Amino acid sequence: MQHNKRAVVTGVALLSALALAGCSGGGSGTDNGGGGDAAACAPSDGDVTLEFTSWIPGIEDVAALWNEENPDIQVEVQTGPNGNGGTYQSFFSQLEAGNAPDLGQIEYDALASFRVQDGLEDLSVCEDVVAAEAEFIPWTWGQVTLGTDGVYGVPQDSGPMALFYRSDLFEQNGIAVPTTWEEYKEAAKAVRAAGGYITNFSTADINQFAGFVWQGNGDWFSNNGEEWTVDLTGEQSTTVAEYWQELLDEDLVATYPAWTEEWNNAYNSGEVWTWNSAVWGANSISSGAPDTAGKWSVAPSPQWEAGDASSGNWGGSSIAVFKGTDHLYEATKFALWLNTSDEALTALNKSANIYPATTAGLELPSLQEGVEFYGGQKIYDVFAEAAAQVNPDFVWGPTMTQTYADVSDGFQKAVTGQGTLLEALAAAQESTIATLKAQSIPVAE
Amino acid sequence: MSLLTRTAGATADDLKPSSRGPKESILSRGAALIVMGVFTLYFLVPIWWLFIASTKDRGDLLTTNALWFADWNFFANVGDLLTYNDGIYVRWLLNSLGYAGVGALLATVFAGMCGYALAKYRFRGREAYFNTVLGGVLVPATALALPLFLLFSQVNMTNTFWAVLLPSIVSPFGVYLSRIYASASVPDELIEAGRIDGASEVRTYFTISMRLMMPALITVFLFQFVSIWNNFFLPLIMLRSQELFPVTYGLYSWNTQLNQIPELRTYVLVGSFLSIVPLIIAFLLLQRFWRNGLGTGSVK
């Protein structure tokens, strides 16, 4: 009996020792840590396999095109939920563990967070990347340089904004399509009198609000290389907040939670008449409000001053190369092909409605056609025009997740009448500075 | 005697709600039924909604009554779901069955042996081990995901089947339950008898003790199966390749892409509905043992 027990104990000990040995055996030698060969941008010897994480639907088919033509640089695609839905979280843990993929999809507003955590390779050491600058729409390039001399990603897509509106309802009620924000407010009153709402003010889409600020050349963040300046309550921000506050106070806009069934239904039933949204919004409307097919049109965004021609941006992303990659040269080669070649851009547009960030990309044949849902209007012409009117200097801060959450909380209160949009921005200003300090990121005050 | 007198002397007043004793009044009984009814509805309505939603096509989903049928498209939806993206959904379902089935089975075997050992053998530090395991019950699985990721990264095992399976075979609650149950339901005499007949400890465990512990083990299995099936955070942290996703994570990643691919809305709904079916089956099949298991310990 005593014997037996001892045998069991020894057996267990032996097994665990074996298991441990097995584990560490597998680990040694393949651990590539965080310290890659970052300085040089030279081709690697032999065949290379790149890991690339993206959540763009159909991206694996686009990578397959590349793999066919480049047997020596194979790309393995990995997918998951969208960035804020979990993929950024996993990028950060992979960076921490030193096994991040070579390339990853990162939206513009999250790039600064990754740079601050020292997670990105500076691509300006690669000649090809520097030379490609001219191919991109200038402001998209500004999004990846983050206001520095470095380049922290290759722009992929953009979200220039315009005004989606129910042309049938505007016409039936004899309301002119607004070209300035002042006219928009007047139209809002007329629409309200006709029983509808001109638009829905979303407390969740802080990106849209930022787009309005961006349109008026406002700026939320700036970075002089040493310190960050936070300016959520700047002049333009204040103007935009007061404008929408007035619409809210006078009950001229609906306040459904965005992206819900109620929200879709408000558009589908004709209760809400317009949406200031990005180019990808075209798809949101056609999928969320299928009964309104043929009744929508697209016009340029209303302007702050009559005669201006300025646009905001909502969304867009880049392909970044993560710190620790052993194949910087090959990674940038693939990223450039993915975002500049007609072949890849056509495929991306077809599979996921990706709206390219290159000037040549805006001339893709698929973007020149009339869209049936919009009564055959060539809506992409409007967006191509808007894309050229976006202020190139807008910069996102390094703690956007927190900023969005705080602004959104404040907006929610404002919508229920317990505060104002301006107060929400002021509170978020303070908490953003506090968050930056807590992460030891220098802030100018 | 006193009992008799009381019964004999009982008047109508004594039977009013103020009277003491285990007998409940019609009023409180009714109240309890109403509360239970409301809660049952509260739990069932979302499932009903899910079922209704999965029978509609995309247009009807937004425009028709959310709790009643429109055009019946259930089978067409299921067909679309199963063929979308080369049938990746089926793959996810099989993955989930693999993670939850194999994981729960191994967890049950280990927890059973561990609990049995803690209950039936005397060795130094036994209580310390047990208390450590008990402490493990209190640590939420989510809090462990990140450290686990870092550990698995060290040995290059992230983004593999094992990265989700291995952490799932640990069940502190299972050890706890097995220990309690084993000490109550496996008599020492029986083990002694086995030893006298020359059976090894291992054989005694597998041929005698384990069978006596079966109700507890089934419970552990069921608990573990459900928690692995529903575990979301661990796969989110560990996995990058679509082919390895369990169904919960797969559906979630679809759900974050609704803006770009609208037809996914239907797939997410039908997919969610189908994904709860295995859980319901597991419950119905094992329920008999489960009730038996929870009851046995308490009455003894």
Phi, psi of A138 (to 5 degrees): -50, -45
A149: three-class secondary structure by DSSP:
coil
- Is residue A94 less than 8 Å (CB to CB) from chain B? yes
pLDDT digits (tens, 9 = 90+) for A27-82: 333 333 333 444 578 999 899 999 999 998 889 999 999 999 999 999 999 988 88
Each residue's pLDDT, cut to its tens digit, for chain B (300 residues) gives: 344 344 444 444 444 555 555 667 888 889 999 999 999 999 999 999 999 999 988 777 777 888 888 889 899 999 999 998 889 999 999 999 999 999 999 999 999 999 999 999 999 999 999 999 999 989 888 888 889 999 999 999 999 999 999 999 999 999 999 999 999 989 999 999 999 999 999 999 998 899 899 889 998 999 999 999 999 889 988 998 889 999 999 999 888 887 667 778 889 999 999 999 888 888 888 877 766 555 454 444
Measured between beta carbons, the chain A residues lying within 8 angstroms of B261 are: 57, 352
- Is residue A57 less than 8 Å (CB to CB) from chain B? yes
pLDDT of B288 reads 73
Mean pLDDT of A98-112: 94
Per DSSP, the residues of B210-230 read: HHHTHHHHHHHHHHHHHHHHH
DSSP H/E element including A162 = strand A161-166
pLDDT of B293 reads 54
- Is residue A16 less than 8 Å (CB to CB) from chain B? no
Give how far Cα B259 sits from Cα of A258, A286, A373, B62, B297, Å.
Answer: 12, 10, 16, 15, 52
End-to-end C-alpha distance for chain A, whole angstroms: 75
Return d(Cα A117, Cα A106) in angstroms, integer.
Answer: 14
pTM of the model: 0.81
Contact check, Cβ <8 Å, B242/A79:
yes
- The shortest C-alpha distance from A26 to chain B (Å) reads 6
pLDDT digits (tens, 9 = 90+) for A261-271: 789 889 999 99
Res A323 pLDDT > 60: yes
- Is residue B253 less than 8 Å (CB to CB) from chain A? yes
pLDDT of B292 reads 59
Considering only A164-168, A223-227, B128-132, which range has the smallest mean pLDDT?
A223-227
* pLDDT bucket at A9, cuts 50 / 70 / 90: very low
Return d(Cα A363, Cα A340) in angstroms, integer.
Answer: 12
Strand partners, A50: A75
Are B235 and B168 in contact by the 8 Å Cβ rule? The answer is no
pLDDT digits (tens, 9 = 90+) for A376-398: 999 999 999 999 999 998 999 99
pLDDT of A108 reads 96
CA-nearest of B142, B111, B121 to B219 is: B111
Res A341 pLDDT > 70: yes
**Mean pLDDT estimate for chain A:** 89
pLDDT of A351 reads 83
Contact check, Cβ <8 Å, A30/B240:
no
- The shortest C-alpha distance from B84 to chain A (Å) reads 12
- Is residue B66 less than 8 Å (CB to CB) from chain A? yes
pLDDT of A163 reads 97
ipTM: 0.73
pLDDT of A225 reads 78
* pLDDT bucket at A350, cuts 50 / 70 / 90: confident
The 3-state secondary structure of A200-246, one letter per residue: ECCCCCHHHHHHHHHHCCCCCEEECCCCEEECCCCHHHHHHHHHHHH
pLDDT of A310 reads 94
Closest partner residue to A90 (CB to CB) among B237, B255, B257 is B237
Res A404 pLDDT > 90: yes
Contact check, Cβ <8 Å, B237/A93:
yes
- Between chain A and chain B, the number of residue pairs with CB atoms below 8 A apart is 111
Strand partners, A202: none
Give how far Cα B159 sits from Cα of A21, A101, A181, B141, Å.
Answer: 21, 12, 50, 18
Give the pairing type, strands A48-53 and A103-107: parallel
pLDDT of B1 reads 39
- Is residue B256 less than 8 Å (CB to CB) from chain A? yes
Residue A157 CB neighbours (<10 A): 27
Phi, psi of A171 (to 5 degrees): -70, -50
Res A20 pLDDT > 50: no
